[in-house]
């Protein structure tokens, strides 16, 4: 199990290369060469994408476990459902139900709707 967002492997790889922590001898192919093909920057091969590279994922997880890499925490990791400033609060809320359900809801805060004229709807569709 990984403790980081594996869809960010390529971005992590790029950032580490930018600061000189990734040492590799190959040159990454041009955009034209990469068109419509998946490419792994870590392996310098085309059978899989960098984000899908299991070896790179394990290497990244290993350096995280060793404390040598600390991925930034994302907002979603901290509080996935933040309270919004504009919350709608209802006073005396009611629920709309079908007339067939009315018996079981006596004395509760409900509004009983009207039956739909199904026959008329079917006839107008047939016209």
pLDDT tens-digit profile of 19-71? 877 777 778 888 888 887 888 999 888 889 999 999 999 999 998 899 888 87
42 inside domain? yes
What is the domain range of residue 31? 6-74
105 inside domain? no
17 inside domain? yes
| Tally of structural domains, the chain | 1
29 inside domain? yes
108 inside domain? no
Report the range out of 10-14, 55-59, 86-90, 104-108 with the highest average pLDDT: 55-59
97 inside domain? no
Instruction: Give the mean model confidence (pLDDT) for residues 82-100.
Output: 63
- Model pTM score: 0.53
Taking the C-alpha atoms of residue 51 and residue 41, their distance in angstroms, rounded to an integer, is: 9
60 inside domain? yes
The H-assigned helical ranges of 4-117 are 9-18, 31-34, 54-65, 75-78
19 inside domain? yes
């Amino acid at each position: 199990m990984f403790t980081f967002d594996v869809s960010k492997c390529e971005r992590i790889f790029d950032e580490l290369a930018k600061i000189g922590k990734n040492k590799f001898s190959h040159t990454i192919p041009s955009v034209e060469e990469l068109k419509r093909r998946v490419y792994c920057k870590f392996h310098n091969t085309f059978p899989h994408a960098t984000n899908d590279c299991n070896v790179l994922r394990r290497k990244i997880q290993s350096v995280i476990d060793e404390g040598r890499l600390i991925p930034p925490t994302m907002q979603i990791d901290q509080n996935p459902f933040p309270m919004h400033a504009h919350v709608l609060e209802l006073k005396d809320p009611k629920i709309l139900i079908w007339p067939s359900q009315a018996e079981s809801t006596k004395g509760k805060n409900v509004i009983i709707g009207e039956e739909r004229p199904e026959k008329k709807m079917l006839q107008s569709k047939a016209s």
